[in-house]
Amino acid sequence: MKITELFKRGEFPVTAEVGPPKGFHIEHLLEEAKTYLKDITAVNVTDNQSSVMRLGSLATCKALKDEGLTPIFQLTCRDRNRLALQSDLLSAAMFGIENLLLLTGDHTTLGDHPQSKPVFDLDSVSLLHTVKTLEQGSDLAGNPLDGPPPSFAKGAVVSACSDSVDVQLAKMELKIKAGAEYFQTQAVFEPEKFIQFMEKAKQFGVPVMLGVIIPKSVGMVKFMNDNIAGINVPDPLIDELRADKEKTKAGITGVEIAARIIRECRPYCQGVHIMALGWESKVPDLLAQAGI
C-alpha cells in the first residue's frame, strides 16, 4: 500500500520511526513493532541514522513486511554512489516495498566512523529524480530496465521551523519538481512556526506530515537545540520537562508535550510522523492523548 493513496483519499496517515540495531538480531524490534505499531499506517526505517553504523534499512523493511507491517524505506546518499542507490531501489521494488523517504544524509564526521569517506554522489533532489527516472523505465545512464518499471510513493524531508523559511520553501519546490509526492518535517516543538510555514507551503498542494519527537529529558532537548539545525525547543517546554523529574523519566511529560503539539498542528497538516527514539511502547498512549 502506497501512503500517497491514503492522502488522495483524504485520510490522515500516522507513521512511526524505528532504528535498526547495531547487529543483525531484530527479534526485539519486530516484537515491539507488532505490539505497539500495529495500528499505525506505516513503519519508517532509518538508514544509518546520524551516520552510526547499523543493520541496513532495506533488510529491516523486508523483515517488517514479512511480519505484516507496511515499511517506509529510508534511503540516504551518504553511503552509496548512483550505482548502489539504483540497485537498492530495484531491490526494494522486488521485495514489494513501495514507500520511500529520500534524504541526503548526515555527514560521516558526526557518527561512530568519522574516518569513513562520505559518498554524496547524489543529493536528495537528484535522488528523487533518479527514482522518477527508474519509474519511467530506464536507469540514469539511459539504459532500459527489463520488464515493467517500479512504482513508488516518493517522500522527502523539510524543516518547517527553520528560521530560513524562504530557503526551505525553495528546497521544497525543487524536490517537488524532482518528483516528491509527500513531505515529512523535521521535529516540531513550535506549533506557531509550523502553522506559519504551512500557510505558505499549501501553495504547492503536496501533503505534509508533521514530525514529532517524544522528548525524553532536559539533556536531550538541550542537545537538540545545540546540535540539530531547524530545531528549537522553547524554554517553557524545557521547564515543563524539568518540573517533575520522575514524571519526565517515566515518559509521561514527553508524551503530554508531543500530544499537545499534534493537537495544535493537526488542522494544518495531512499526517503525523512520530520519532519515538526507542520509546515505541509509548506511541499508543501518545496517539490516544492526541485524539487520533
Q: How far apart are CA 180 and CA 4, in angstroms?
A: 11
57 contacts 46 by C-beta, under 8 angstroms? yes
CA distance 167 to 159: 10
Question: Which domains does the chain show, CATH number per domain?
Answer: 3-290 (3.20.20.220)
The residue assigned the cell 513508488 is 152
Q: What confidence score (pLDDT) does residue 5 get?
A: 97
Three-state secondary-structure class, residue 140: coil
Task: Sort strands 153-158 and 99-103 into parallel, antiparallel or unpaired.
Answer: parallel
Q: What is the pLDDT of residues 169-227, one digit of tens each?
A: 999 999 999 999 999 999 999 999 999 999 999 999 999 999 999 999 999 999 888 88
CA geometry: angle 265, 269, 272, nearest 5 deg? 85
Summary count for the chain: helices (H), strands (E): 12, 8
> What pLDDT, on the 0 to 100 scale, is given for residue 189?
95
- 3-state percent breakdown (helix, strand, coil) of the chain, nearest 5: 45, 15, 40
What pLDDT score was predicted for residue 244?
86
HEC sequence for 171-231: HHHHHHHHCCCEEEEEECCCHHHHHHHHHHHHHHCCCEEEEEECCCCHHHHHHHHHHCCCC
pTM of the prediction? 0.94
- Per-residue pLDDT, 46: 96
The three grid cell numbers given for residue 266, joined into one nine-digit string: 493537526
Mean pLDDT, the chain cut into blocks of 10 residues (292 residues total): 96 97 96 95 95 96 98 97 98 98 91 92 97 98 97 97 92 97 96 96 97 93 84 90 90 95 97 93 96 92
Predicted local confidence at residue 118, as pLDDT: 92
